[in-house]
Amino acid sequence: MALHIVKLCVGCDSIEDLAAWIDFRLEEKRAAGELPEQFHTTRMVPKRVDEILDGGSLYWVIKGNIQCRQRLLDIRPFTDSEGIHRCHLVLEPKLVPTLWQPRRAFQGWRYLKPEEAPADEANGGKGRAALPAELRQELAALGLL
């Protein structure tokens, strides 16, 4: 059974905002002649790589709620130019909206057990994805989503 990772999406206000950022970065890489793959750099390297790469996803916390996920394709440890060990979490660039699940702020990333992960929006969202991002956020703040 796949293990997941949950991480704060700092600087994004909505899934649409994250999607636009991903598209922008991939286009930058294409224009520079680089491989257009998306990755997120993190300092801590997961120890449970085999479980994560067995179908795991990175769940993004946006504005206090898990709102979407991206499938993890690879985990690549490396040492940066300052000698600090880091890793690239290589992600499928497709965002999958999920049912919203509140999360308090935390640093870094955390493992997320499959039974604790929110379901995909398509598997029970009942049209929430069609609501504007601002309205979804306001309804979630009121505890209605």
For 142, the enclosing helix (H) or strand (E) is none
pLDDT of residue 144: 66
Q: Is the pLDDT of residue 21 over 90?
A: yes
Q: For the whole model, what pTM was predicted? A: 0.85
Residue indicated by tokens 């598997």: 123
> Over the stretch 49-85, which tens digit does the pLDDT of each residue have?
999 999 999 999 999 999 999 999 999 999 999 999 9
**Greater confidence, 130 or 111?**
111
- The two beta strands, 96-102 and 109-112, are unpaired
What's the mean pLDDT when you consider all of the chain?
89
Distance CA 75, CA 86 (A): 10
For 132, the enclosing helix (H) or strand (E) is none
pLDDT of residue 124: 52
CA-based torsion, 33, 31, 69, 11: positive or negative: positive
pLDDT of residue 49: 95
> Over the stretch 92-114, which tens digit does the pLDDT of each residue have?
999 999 998 999 989 999 999 99
Amino acid in position 116: E
